[in-house]
Structure 1
């Protein structure tokens, strides 16, 4: 009988981690020999180096998927930069170094498109990393994510491990953070327009000018892409990437102005009032479209359209909003 592949999924309760967990559980039900290892934050604090090392040494997983991170929108990044850089650096170092020390040869690190320079060429290729200044509003978080990529590259170079990273576009979907002040743009819009429609508010005000272009990727597509990259034979991955390039862009390949996104969310939620833009607030990066040709050439592309995905996410929010109110 084939020994099950032991997979430690760090961050299984987050939006991305829970989507990956659903897919791995589906593989189990289909008969794949997979043994899943998960721990909540109360069971294992990933910022605690000794605890992470002890866990990995004891459990000896075959594969580690690092989906854990401290995340937030523009306001959260602006007001708590020390937390964002320190906690994410600690998580990356503890898990990636701990995995290598425990003999784990396969690891998938989940990052963010914010790793790229503010003025990167559009669409953004993987090679744009470290070619210019970052967007100031999320620089601390981005630096931590860049460090995670370089940790993977460095361990691959020195120890011959197979540590890969995927860099998704803006993610959304079931399990997202809908906090009124700490969420990203799409869940924030869904919550605000849903509440405005319910109360009959005459208008909704959006931060910024509404002109920045954003690409959105449904979390279920991201989960599928992550496991696709993890499963790629090493020679196929190497054939499509330059030497030691450990990160791969994941996106939909499509972008939309924030103003049009707001109108889409308003229509889906049934809000019929006015949409105002507060131009005194920051826009963030003007444009951030991922170049996803490399992943497409390896055989994967996104399947969930924005309207379909936003509608499903809004329905999920409606089903869970009483437990999400803060």
Structure 2
């Protein structure tokens, strides 16, 4: 391991689900000088503001967890915003880090970078080997650009900029908006509302057969810090030279039906779960190959049911303050 607890660490996107989890993990591990920054402190889409911020604060390393994110519907409805805003954030931050001699940076991407029909489980080498899923292609291209930006600074300037590609995340501070949320918060909220209203039926799009992998955000934060703590030699021993991205997941998936049944158990729904077969299923399976991450000495610890209980506990405690 090559890290110092006294280093000044900048976490961007600290008010989001992933960024806040990284701040918690750094605190848990004893890091003493964490600068947690959100949208109100600096506009990451403004090159001048970002450059001035880096010049003033002189950090040792960066976790870039800030991004414009959303579910399938949001990606489909606002493709221009998703590609434009993410390209701005990534480009401004990564370039400003380099210009201010920040040697270490961790960029957070997404599993949607891989081709729609990539072999399962998806390996890091599958990047750019096929067409992307059309509904979130603009977002995926932005994330691919972030990976390649990191790789390019590594190649040309000898930087140590790494990227982690998480599977589907969930947990505290998730987005429960009725249009823009991902599958777990969307279903969790739906089960909760049906129970509260005394209903006895929940209808879910599709057949319930597609398989998905889910990772609790605290596990994601743990993996991110673990990867960042590795020496360059330890990191490159399990990846290709100049290849900056590593998959982060559990290596285990479940069907949407199994997910729904587990959520029903967690929420206390006793009624009938129905599937609307007239609605699309989407990709049959999305599972990450996490063999490289395991060789680096990390694997997920939070099981799905335990993680969902934690997510539901947070939802109940914060429901009155959420944008639903």
Distance 1:27 1:174 in 2: 19
SS at match of 1:5: coil
Change (3 A) 1:206 1:3: closer
TM-score by length of 1: 0.95
Secondary structure in 2 matching 1:9: strand
Query: Match for residue 312 of structure 1?
Result: 310
Structure-1 residue corresponding to 2:283 = 285
Query: Is the Cα–Cα contact under 8 Å of residues 103 and 159 in structure 2 kept in the other structure?
Result: yes
Alignment of 1:26-37 (within 5 A): 26-28=28-30, 32=31, 34-37=32-35
Residue 153 of structure 2 corresponds to which residue in structure 1?
155
Contact 1:137-1:284 within 8 A present in 2 as well: no
> How far apart in 2 are the matches of 1:66 and 1:6?
14
Question: Are 1:294 and 2:292 matched, yes or no?
Answer: yes
Runs of 4+, deviation exceeding 6 Å: none
Matched, 1:15 2:21: no
Equivalent position SS for 2:122: coil
CA distance in 2, matches of 1:320, 1:39: 22
Q: 1:130 aligns with which of 123, 128, 131?
A: 128
Q: How many residues align?
A: 321
**Aligned residue in 1 for 2:37:** 39
Judge which range, 274-283 or 248-257, deviates more: 274-283
CA contact (8 A) 2:23 2:36 kept: no
Aligned counterpart, 1:246: 244
Partner of residue 263, structure 1: 261
Distance 1:142 1:185, change over 3 A: same
CA contact (8 A) 1:215 1:251 kept: yes
Between the aligned partners of 2:94 and 2:218, the Cα distance in structure 1 is 24
Give the CA deviation at 1:204.
Answer: 1.5
Change (3 A) 1:3 1:281: closer
Q: What is the 5 A alignment of 1:23-172?
A: 23-28=25-30, 32=31, 34-172=32-170
Q: Is residue 117–residue 132 contact of structure 1 (8 Å, CA) maintained in 2?
A: yes
Please list the CA deviations of residues 263-318 of structure 1 after superposition, one character each: whole Å capped at 9, or x if unmatched.
11112111122222233443332211000000101110000000110111111111
Whole-angstrom CA distance in 2 between matches of 1:35 and 1:62: 10
Q: Distance in 1 between matches of 2:100 and 2:205?
A: 46
Q: Deviation per CA, 1:68-109: give whole Å up to 9, x if none.
A: 111111111111111111111111101111110111110000
